[in-house]
Amino acid sequence: MVADQYINIRPAGKSGEKAVIMAPYAGMLPAEKLRLVRKLLEERTKQSFLGRLFLNVHKIDDTTVMGTPEGTIVTIVDTYYIFRKGGVSSAEALAAIENYRSTLIRGKMPNGADLSDYVKYRVRLEHSRAVK
């Protein structure tokens, strides 16, 4: 099943071309994404004694769940693969994601970053208190 939303596939280029190519959103459905994030969050909380005692991942509201480091990881990876399916290069996909995420929290993307490096950079930047 595909969500009924549209996204830009190709970001604007440096030579002045515009980001106008549109395609149906083909990423994870919101319910699938939430299930995955909750499962990852549950795995992380199993490692903490206090987390096991006081945190019921299934009772946390969706917005809070998506605001966790696990939510950031899943969102970035999902978005990256949407761009890649649309024919965008890895570098262009990461640049487009960074362009958007930098409107919320500014950072400096590492040069030559691959998806793994980029995810680590954004999680450290966006969740510096939650990640050790």
> What is the mean pLDDT of the segment spanning 29-46?
92
Tally of domains in the chain: 1
45 band by pLDDT with thresholds 50, 70 and 90:
confident
Is 61 part of a structural domain of the chain?
yes
Position 107 scores a pLDDT of 93
Asked whether the predicted pLDDT for residue 58 surpasses 90, the reply is no
Q: Residue 107 falls within a domain, yes or no? A: yes
Residue 49 lies in a domain: yes
What is residue 7's predicted lDDT score, i.e. its pLDDT?
A: 47
Backbone angles phi, psi at 39, to 5 degrees: -65, -45
Per-residue pLDDT, 17:
53
61 vs 34, 56, 68, 84, CA distance in Å? 10, 11, 11, 31
Give me the pLDDT at residue 53, please. Answer: 72
Q: Would the pTM count as exceeding 0.85?
A: no
pLDDT for 129 equals: 72
Q: Which domain holds residue 45?
A: 30-126
Read off the pLDDT of residues 109-121 as tens digits, 9 standing for 90 and up.
999 999 999 999 9
115 burial (CB, 10 Å; 0-12 / 13-18 / 19+) is middle
Reading the block at residue 71, the tokens are 């939510």
For 80-104, write each residue's pLDDT tens digit.
Answer: 999 999 999 999 999 999 999 999 9
The string of pLDDT tens digits covering residues 17-35 is 544 444 555 688 999 999 9
